[in-house]
Amino acid sequence: MEKGKMPFKRYRQYPNVFLPDREWPDKTITKAPIWCSIDLRDGNQALSIPMNVEEKIIMFELLVAIGFKEIEIGFPSASDVEYQFIRRLIKEQRIPDDVTIQVLTQAREHLIRKTFDSVRDTNKAIIHLYNSTSKVQREVVFKKNKEEIKAIAVEGTKLIKSLRGASKNSSIRFEYTPESFPATELDYALEICSAVIDAWAPSPEEKIIINLPTTVEMSTPNVYADRIELFCRHIKKRESVIISVHTHNDRGTGVASAELAVMAGAERVEGALFGNGERSGNMDIVTMALNLFSQGVNPELDFSDINKIAEVYKKCTRMDIHSRHPYAGELVYTAFSGSHQDAINKGMKAQKKKESDIWDVPYLPIDPKDVGRTYDAIIRINSQSGKGGVAYVMENDWGFKIPNEMQPEFARLIQGRTESVSNELSSNEIKNCFEQEYIKRQGRFQLKSCAIHSENKNSKETIVCALIQDEQTEISIRAKGNGPVDAFVCGVKEHFNILFDVAYYAEHSLSQGADAEAVAYIGINTENSKILFGVGIDVNISIASIKAVLNAINRM
């Protein structure tokens, strides 16, 4: 191969399905499908260190708590650990009455018999039978023709039906999967599934599950949806069949394939938490369920404590969850971009004022609190951040409602700090920067004491008497004005010959209660027309304002 050239001609275009009257593009998903978790089987077999029995029990209990009513718990004929885990669940009566366990088997007699034996005495179970049906599997792996492959599926179905009859357990249900469905000719997939349906003889009251997987994802999701719709149109006894899908993520579109398949007629979806599974993984059932949730559809699964679910998952599987993983990643509710932060800041404020509870905040498809996340990390500050993000952190974490006029100045200060350290700043570090720059500013002047009173009851003038330390000298000033700030400014100008004017003023309470502190923001015009801000805090708002003036002067 020539360096730098990808050998794309080695690969073939997946064939389209001729379906000019397709209906699925006009459909919407208005209710959750039947969910089946495959974490304990398909997910587990993909782990470098498969779960032991104790870990399997913890995972099973998590899946039950989330709300799964169908759970594929293992391949009992594959190993003794799988078999013993299933027997323990049954013997210890760990399976709730409303939960159906599912077990997987290949279409081979001794494996089917052991699989059936593993679920004896259970109240509800699904025996899941599969065999490979694609052309390449038939010719290369099994060296059998279509009739021989179909016979394997039919004979396996008949054996399971016979064993169910002998057990007199009518609660045992049946699922069939033509494995490698995407690489199987669609007419042959219909033929073999129809033969299985004839062998099982389902009814509308006792339906068969036909599971159509993307064992290896080979096409764009729309082509898979076409295949599902066409299959649903032509499969026999449709009213007695539950169409299930089991999508993998080889092309990165496992969730999209499952969603479009449901639009195309599938009623049931198999998947794994956080997409665990072979190669690129199975369809991520967390993502698909919360996609429904974000559209106002009840997902019928409870992900309201996503952190707890992630913690158990990581402990049992020894797998990490990517920080950008949809809905569950550490950073998925976090914005670093300045424009995003500004929009989120304004959106969160608008959300609080709305009469409707309908969620509508820019860049946040769902409220993080609905999945148990906090607002603490919605906005994080680095060199890409802007004034809106910095203002959000200061207000949300520390209660400082920085005025719009002041925000650009403080944002530039924070940006300079992040660039100097080449890292993001924590909320505490941002607050410390704010305090050191605007509240505890070290400069020429320090306020030692201050008293405020009126000259007499009828006077509108306010008198301020203040003791100010000017470097090594303490100077007393006494001045009159149309309020405490005006009086103090007049006194400072007169005694120290400093040219400035108050250009901006804002205040608010910093806390609640009788001894609540107030914060004042003062912007002053300097000789070069640049506005500099200072901030003051005190239980007395007038004193807080005077402190703010002095802090602004110290920044000149």
Q: How far apart are CA 116 and CA 70, in angstroms?
A: 17
Determine the Cα–Cα distance for residues 415 and 387; give it in Å rounded to an integer.
9
Q: What is the CATH number of the domain that holds 528?
A: 3.30.160.270
CATH number of the domain at 117, please. Answer: 3.20.20.70
Residue where a domain terminates, one of 415, 439, 463: 439
Q: Is residue 205 part of a domain?
A: yes
The whole-number mean pLDDT for each consecutive block of 10 residues of the chain, a chain of 556 residues, reads: 79 92 97 98 92 95 98 92 94 96 96 95 94 94 95 97 92 96 96 98 97 96 98 97 97 97 98 95 97 97 96 95 92 76 84 90 91 72 67 86 90 84 83 92 86 75 87 87 88 86 90 80 84 92 91 88
pTM for this entry: 0.79
Which pLDDT score is estimated for 444?
Answer: 86
What pLDDT is attached to residue 344? 82
140 and 288 together in one domain: yes
Mark whether 69 and 128 lie in a shared domain.
yes
Domain that holds residue 459: 445-554
Residue 27 lies in a domain: no
pLDDT at residue 1, as a whole number: 55
Provide the pLDDT for residue 457: 65
Instruction: Give the helix ranges, DSSP H, for 497-531.
Output: none
Report the pLDDT value the prediction gives residue 375, as an integer from 0 to 100.
65
pLDDT reported for residue 376: 61
pLDDT at 35: 98
Residues 433 and 490 in one domain: no
Contacts of residue 4, Cβ cutoff 8 Å, sequence gap at least 6: none
Quick check: is 359 in a domain? yes
Identity at 16, one-letter amino acid code: N
DSSP code string of 44-66: HHTSSS---HHHHHHHHHHHHHH
Contact present, 191 and 144 (Cβ < 8 Å): no
Are 413 and 469 part of one and the same domain?
no
What pLDDT is attached to residue 436?
92
Taking the C-alpha atoms of residue 266 and residue 259, their distance in angstroms, rounded to an integer, is 9
